[in-house]
Amino acid sequence: MPHIKIVGLGGSLKPGSASALALSEALRGAEEGGASVELLELHVLDLPMFVPDREPAPSVRRLIESVSAAAGLIWSSPVYHGSMSGAFKNALDWLELLSKHEPPYLTDKIVGLIATAGGVQGLQAINAMEFAVRSLRGYTHPLTAPLDRAWQLFDKSGTFSDEAALAKLRTLGKGVAEAAKRMSR
């Protein structure tokens, strides 16, 4: 089996967000599946707004290099107004810089999807992210994690208090790692 790297991209611009905490748990599952992992949190990356033909900032270069080197990805976005956050969409817009890579974009990469919602519309953001994965020539993992009422899943210290959600996130991460290994053969 080849050694693979899984990159987690997401969170929100708020440090310690539910989407970042969920992403960290899914990456633990990817590690359990034998992958090395890298976490790219949006609030840490602090990406500038995407402007075509703009010289990429160092944070953009880090994003592009990490995604290019990954065999798989796990994306996690908060749900804002029924879709992924603007900050997350901006990060995806920067993936346009992968168009000239060989292979281009996310070709032959598996992507796991997580959405954290305050209400019950988590699947809407998953659907939007899935369309983005397909347009970038990637494959989505069939298990997704729309986490409705995400604020109820954690205790005050940011630890998961919902065992079913935690198990789902770990299973998603492990599944992405295993699928990425199979696709990398």
User: Looking at residue 11, which CATH number applies to its domain?
Assistant: 3.40.50.360
Joined together, the tokens standing for residue 37 give: 């992992």
Residue stretches of the chain with pLDDT short of 50: none
Structure token digits, residue 9 = 């991209």
| Average pLDDT of the chain to the nearest whole number | 94
Encode pLDDT of 111-149 as tens digits: 999 999 988 888 999 999 999 999 999 999 999 999 998
Neighbour tally for 87: CB within 10 Å: 21
> Residue 100 and residue 32: Cα distance in Å, rounded?
33
Predicted local confidence at residue 5, as pLDDT: 98
How many domains, the chain?
1
Give me the pLDDT at residue 155, please: 81
Q: What is the pLDDT of residue 11?
A: 87
Q: Provide the domain limits for residue 96.
A: 5-183
For residue 168, the Cα-to-chain-centroid distance in whole angstroms is: 15
Task: Enter the pTM of the model.
Answer: 0.96
Q: How many CB atoms lie within 10 A of CB 62?
A: 16
| 8 A C-beta contact, residue 116 and residue 147 | yes
Output the six-digit token pair for 160.
Answer: 């998961």
